[in-house]
Chain A
Amino acid sequence: MRRKPFLKPLACTVLFLALGLGGSISSLYGEEWPSKPIQIVVGYSAGGTSDLVTRGLAEPLKKILKVPVVVENKPGGASLIASGYLAKAKPDGYTLGQVAGNSITERPFFMQVPFDPVKAFSFICQVFDYGAGFVVKSDAPWKTFPEFVEAAKKQPGKLSVSMSGPGSYLQVGIAKLERKVPGLKLKVVPFKGGVDAVTALLGGHVDSCFQSQEWRPFVESGKLRLLAIGGRERLKDYPQVPTWLDLGYGVFAEAPGAYAAPAGLPGNIRDKLEQAFKAAMGDPKFKATMKSLSLVEVYKPGKELYEDLMKMYEENKTTIPQLGITEQ
């Protein structure tokens, strides 16, 4: 009878399993945080600005926290999928994520979000703002934003503005502006990404574009003209361009880029993380990255950020349904 050589494969399998068990047992022993790599989940694909900011932070964070800091991309659903993943993760300080402020303040009113906007996250801090600029082509007849508004009022519903959608803070911003300025009615043409929205403007298919920062290289090269900023503060590179608040419209559109952990994160770990992030933001290489990405660096401690977000959330709860943009 032929002896079936099964001992070797059997031994291999047993060895295999034993190694695995051993590996998992060692991680059961609790050690002081941080004792293993930290993961930061980003809701956009690698190479995008959100991703690059995070990677820019990861380097100095690694030096400060003395553990590897790994960026993981989970693109999709305008970062909602990643946020949903984060909300369900263990609040042990090893899984963090980048959360866009408007996932909390705007999107829940447009679509189902895979987390509770009020309770899901423990915010570490805000690091940047996506910004919002209103641009037109440089050969357009409107040299200032009020000029554009006047022209639009004369032909309601005729001038078009492109932006990325749906349910974006940009859309809400424009709608709020229309509400505040009587007689202003713009044709909103949504696109699947900021780049497409800006390209449409470049090609002359729309009259204007309201977008986060994809217009930068074109304003710099003179192809597009920046008329106004939707955020609360002017941009350092374009100090002469007014904000909507400066112009007296009483609305603003901002999109904080923040980092958070799942709710339930122990307070001392959260504080340590906040300090680490703050220090990382001071890293010169990070500052250079931010400059090249044309993002607005804004530091806001987690508690303050959360309060601001909740304020806007409550406000939007009543305002957004009134804007009439949730249904087409």
Chain B
Amino acid sequence: MSVRPLAIPRPATPLHDRPVARRWTEIDPILLIVTLLLIAYGLVMTYSTTAETRTFTGDPMQFVIRGALWAGVGLAAMSLVATFDYAWLGTFAPVLYVITLSLLAIVLQLGTATLGAQRSVQIAGLTFQFSEVAKVLMIVVLAKYFADRRSRIGSPLVMLFGLALLAPAVFLVYRQPDLGTSLVFIAIFFGISFLAGARMWQLVGLVAIAGASFPVMWALLKDYQRARLSAFLDPYSDPQGAGWNIIQSLIAVGSGGATGKGLTAGTQSPLGYLPIAESDFVFAGLAEDLGFAGAIILFALYMFLLFAALRVAFRARDPFGMLIGGGVATMLLFQILVNVGMAISLMPVTGIPLPFISHGGSSLVSICFALGVLQSVSMRREPEGP
């Protein structure tokens, strides 16, 4: 037996932290560069899918300018967030949780209906998709929850309470209705609990329960959601109806070929065959305009981004930082999988934006915010080596 050496307490609060100016050297450069590249790629795609819209009568650059403004806001938010120690977020996690649920409730109460769903709120002429913000806040809340209960993670009660935290948010989003985003929340929960060390039997059990309850879920689905799932299995059973989007999206993607038809030269989206071409089906427009090559470049950027996020998580100074990193990576990976999968008919149709590429300020700013937190985690990691 030996005497446990005296534990020197680490700085417990942000007040003990090093000066910000010195920590800027610790930002993750890959994460930053890839973020900037993806924002640029997104602006290019916004230009390509909207400039040639024949039915659009205003300034053809309008969408691009708006996207650039949002990108500026997002980068500012990212920089600002990075300067603060993310531990503050942990401190205020209960408040953030209340804000999350409030935002989602406001959407349900005041939301503007588009395409049959109340997903956005108009404030001062701007449209906000609060569920995009809520996703990021939920990452923080869940990361904090699991970080604090790391030692008791084996207890089913911890998982159950975690689910109880998650459930109201999922329910509110589902009621909008926005099945896709509620699935993103669930994915975040799995990602964070997985990295937090939840027992595999618990995670597998949850998946098994979800699978077993599928018939019940099917009954709870709205008609259009059921139609989308059926159309996913066989788009040609209703080619003019539920299958239309899938077929047109496949045509757009496939017709791009190896190198694409060229920027703004795609025909599927400007002529209206491809619905919501600048957001939900933006990947189909990208694949049509820039082809297989453009898609591979996008995939490469995404993989750099995700691995960078994972590295930040891996090197985080504490479980909270690690789980934030894991949560953000999970959210991005899930959205990429579902959105791209939808465009190439590997996934059913759901309205989830493609990170950076889909046109939409709320999504972009929320992601920038999340990446700002990630940079904060990176900047405050333990020095490497002895």
Q: Do A and B come from the same complex?
A: no
Chain A residues close to B by CB (< 8 Å): none
Chain B residues close to A by CB (< 8 Å): none
